[in-house]
Chain A
Amino acid sequence: DVKVTQSSRYLVKRTGEKVFLECVQDMDHENMFWYRQDPGLGLRLIYFSYDVKMKEKGDIPEGYSVSREKKERFSLILESASTNQTSMYLCASSPSGRTVNEQFFGPGTRLTVL
């Protein structure tokens, strides 16, 4: 079974703190994604990566950065957390190729910024 794990289920941080959210997948997938999920807005893509050290901005990259130093690990960084970044953060991975490649999701990290 594909496993995508996230470093924390719940996280509470203060405004201005630097926050690291980590995601690890064990299926050698090329692609990894970070989303935030907010009620009524669905899933919005923050960043994605298609290879080690490669990244592309999603729809809402402002205030976030990412790092992918190893294939299995994709980190989301909030340089200076703000209250409007309080949200559920979901990591996902998928293989490359022309086959139907679904995304596999982690359990999510519920981040609260006070």
Chain B
Amino acid sequence: AQTVTQSQPEMSVQEAETVTLSCTYDTSESDYYLFWYKQPPSRQMILVIRQEAYKQQNATENRFSVNFQKAAKSFSLKISDSQLGDAAMYFCAYRRRGSGTYKYIFGTGTRLKVLA
């Protein structure tokens, strides 16, 4: 069975600094997707960034980038120039690739605090 592990329950970062959130996963599949979702306090969960496992290039979305290490089954999220609005719970998620409906597997989340 696939699993997703986020070993940092809570992280803090100074405004304008850079922070990296860790995620490791376990799967026997070779083709899958990985996601980082953000859940701000009392607000809707939204997608931050996604990575297709067959792509070697790390995904980037503005200040958010990932370090995808397929062999190590690691998928960390780097937030550059942290802003107060980045404070949220961040969830790492995995989904097998294919045309069927496959479950999304979520980690337990990392709460990010941004210090002014």
Which of chain B's residues have a CB closer than 8 A to the CB of A108? 44
- CB A97 to nearest CB in B, in angstroms, measures 6
Q: In the bound complex, do residue B50 and residue A43 qualify as a contact, i.e. CB atoms below 8 Å apart?
A: no
Residue B64 is within 8 A (CB to CB) of chain A in the complex: no
Instruction: Give A48 to B100 CA distance when docked, in angstroms.
Output: 13
* Interface residue tally on B, bucketed by range: 20 to 34
Instruction: Give A35 to B91 CA distance when docked, in angstroms.
Output: 14
Q: In the bound complex, do residue A40 and residue B106 qualify as a contact, i.e. CB atoms below 8 Å apart?
A: no
Q: In the bound complex, do residue A42 and residue B109 qualify as a contact, i.e. CB atoms below 8 Å apart?
A: yes
Residue A74 is within 8 A (CB to CB) of chain B in the complex: no
- B window 77-113: CB within 8 A of A: 91, 93, 97-101, 103-104, 106-109
* Interface residue tally on A, bucketed by range: 20 to 34
Which of chain A's residues have a CB closer than 8 A to the CB of B44? 105-108
Given the known interface contacts A90-B45, A105-B46, the answer about A42 and B91 at a Cβ–Cβ threshold of 8 Å is yes
Given the known interface contacts A40-B9, A98-B97, A102-B35, the answer about A45 and B103 at a Cβ–Cβ threshold of 8 Å is yes
Which of chain A's residues have a CB closer than 8 A to the CB of B46? 105
Q: In the bound complex, do residue B47 and residue A98 qualify as a contact, i.e. CB atoms below 8 Å apart?
A: no
Instruction: Give A56 to B102 CA distance when docked, in angstroms.
Output: 11
Instruction: Give A44 to B100 CA distance when docked, in angstroms.
Output: 20
Instruction: Give A70 to B70 CA distance when docked, in angstroms.
Output: 39
Q: In the bound complex, do residue A42 and residue B103 qualify as a contact, i.e. CB atoms below 8 Å apart?
A: no
Q: In the bound complex, do residue B50 and residue A102 qualify as a contact, i.e. CB atoms below 8 Å apart?
A: yes
Which residues of B come within 8 Å of A, CB atoms?
6, 9, 33, 35, 37, 43-47, 50, 52, 91, 93, 97-101, 103-104, 106-109
Query: Sorted from nearest, which 4 A-B pairs have the closest CB atoms?
Result: A42-B108, A50-B101, A105-B45, A43-B106
19 A-B pairs besides A90-B45, A105-B44, A105-B46 with CB distance below 8 A are A30-B101, A31-B101, A40-B9, A42-B6, A42-B107, A42-B109, A44-B106, A45-B104, A50-B100, A98-B97, A98-B99, A100-B50, A102-B35, A103-B47, A105-B45, A106-B44, A107-B43, A107-B44, A108-B44
